[in-house]
Structure 1
């Protein structure tokens, strides 16, 4: 099953995508939030869709998509999780997963504009495979990790490299700016992804391909990441873990290439759909 949310920002309705078509299921009630996942919402929604399949209304073409879930309690990110990406940035290959947090206020829809922050000169792109938690997870064994997963989502981990690397402290300040977490268009439930460790993901800027990777090249596998993060914090239903980006980010080029107003970012992943963002300059 693929979950969607659609409509104006802040007023999204819930829906599902079936065989490439988008349907309104707002009559089911509620939203795709912590309570939904915690209270067996996926199973109940599947029953609702099955019972009402013939009467579901299709979402009009051109309708805006929001992120496929409401703002989670946290967005946890894994840094330098592809060897080729670590090498292109000049970083050592990590011996344990690198964890940082992304502000939940950065969350936007998959095709919303990306705003270059005030005083930014090094805004960059990162296509990533995101994991959405389905039930409360604490001290989870790796062998059981996927039992705690609801599904997966496409994420552009937009990053400001000067803020992240050159301004001291943690990476978080370069990761959490407004609009820096486009997610969606769908949340694909885990049963629809045959092998989570073999998913292609790609990203283009202005039509040129910069990233073309696969989760089979992750340094730390997705089950390992879910287990590892749960050793340090309780993961709640609806939380997101973004699992890292392959080589091809702007920082990795010589000289580096950074986003500017007017650029168009396109990205996608097997099973997870595609995104498109126009880049605009910050305005007060």
Structure 2
């Protein structure tokens, strides 16, 4: 099953055609894409009976984030061995987890404000939780995943890495628009192998990242188990599972995102996202805070 958010309305997708869920279900399910995760199992059962004869062509330009208002966004760092190596770090003993704030969510084809500084790309497979998970054994982790989507963990490295430890990982990765997801949510049964999905990044025509999720150090069921051992995972929560090697910041010379670039992100079985960037005309936050602090201490 493939689920989308078209013009803010929950939509089923099949063979390039879109069916409005609220209309097709006679109001049984809300048009709000976020609300469906609270009734996910019921929705999946209903969707198996749907007649697509009234479906219309997808309007790609109207596709928005399939999970528009997640309650929690967990992001896992250094979860591919090749990314650990390029970052000059050691293999982690447990998942390295930070958060991205929900206000940074955007859709698969939106234009994103470039805040200045060093904006980097990190393509990731994103797991969406379908029912409350608490103390889940690793061998049951997939049972709590509603579906998978594609994400970019966009990162402004100067803010992310500013100051002494602990550094500003969450803020540096949560500028407005820095959490694009989409274009659709795909249930795990749609994949030939849900543990082996290809992901990649192309920046202005140049391939930057390409790998497969079989190379994850901590695969999705382990992440669900680990996180749920600490706090409840709730329907509609997101887990960004980590990025492979090829990021721009560790290249020599660095290759970062500029306002003239087009960023294309891809995942097998899910599709691709395309983003362009626009300058804000505002100073970088670190410049602003530095000036403010100087004025306070004068």
Same fold (TM over 0.5): yes
Instruction: Give the Cα–Cα distance (whole angstroms) in 2 for the partners of residues 24 and 262 of structure 1.
Output: 36
Offset of 1:132 from its aligned partner? 0.3
Offset of 1:41 from its aligned partner? 4.3
Offset of 1:135 from its aligned partner? 0.2
CA contact (8 A) 1:24 1:57 kept: no
Question: What is the aligned-residue RMSD (CA, Å)?
Answer: 1.6
Of 130, 133, 138, 1:134 maps to: 130
Instruction: Give the Cα–Cα distance (whole angstroms) in 2 for the partners of residues 231 and 62 of structure 1.
Output: 39
Please give the per-residue CA displacement for 1:6-62, whole angstroms capped at 9, x wherever unaligned: 12xxxx1121110233333331441222x4222234325404xx3442223334x45
Q: TM-score, structure 2 length as denominator?
A: 0.87
Structure-1 residue corresponding to 2:162: 166
Instruction: Give the Cα–Cα distance (whole angstroms) in 1 for the partners of residues 156 and 44 of structure 2.
Output: 39
Please give the per-residue CA displacement for 1:124-153, whole angstroms capped at 9, x wherever unaligned: 001000000000011111011111110100
Specify the SS of the correspondent of 1:111. Answer: coil
Specify the SS of the correspondent of 1:36. Answer: helix
The 5 Å alignment of 1:229-244 reads: 229-244=227-242
Offset of 1:281 from its aligned partner? 1.3
Unmatched runs of 5 consecutive residues or more in structure 2: 283-298
2:43 equivalent to 1:42: yes
Structure-2 residue corresponding to 1:197: 195
Please give the per-residue CA displacement for 1:162-207, whole angstroms capped at 9, x wherever unaligned: 1111234341111111000110000001111232221111110000
Change (3 A) 1:21 1:165: same
Specify the SS of the correspondent of 1:201. Answer: strand
The alignment of Structure 1 onto Structure 2 pairs a total of residues equal to 274
2:210 equivalent to 1:212: yes
Of 57, 60, 72, 1:74 maps to: 72
Specify the SS of the correspondent of 2:135. Answer: coil
Please give the per-residue CA displacement for 1:225-276, whole angstroms capped at 9, x wherever unaligned: 1111111221100101010000011112012221111110001111111000
Specify the SS of the correspondent of 2:13. Answer: strand
2:24 equivalent to 1:5: no
CA contact (8 A) 2:17 2:56 kept: no
Structure-1 residue corresponding to 2:85: 87
Instruction: Give the Cα–Cα distance (whole angstroms) in 2 for the partners of residues 45 and 243 of structure 1.
Output: 29
Of 185, 188, 195, 1:187 maps to: 185
Instruction: Give the Cα–Cα distance (whole angstroms) in 2 for the partners of residues 122 and 140 of structure 1.
Output: 38
Unmatched runs of 5 consecutive residues or more in structure 1: none
Instruction: Give the Cα–Cα distance (whole angstroms) in 2 for the partners of residues 82 and 57 of structure 1.
Output: 40
Q: TM-score, structure 1 length as denominator?
A: 0.91
Change (3 A) 1:187 1:210: same
CA contact (8 A) 1:121 1:258 kept: no
Offset of 1:2 from its aligned partner? 0.4
Instruction: Give the Cα–Cα distance (whole angstroms) in 1 for the partners of residues 163 and 253 of structure 2.
Output: 20
CA contact (8 A) 1:89 1:251 kept: no
2:150 equivalent to 1:151: no
Structure-2 residue corresponding to 1:56: 55
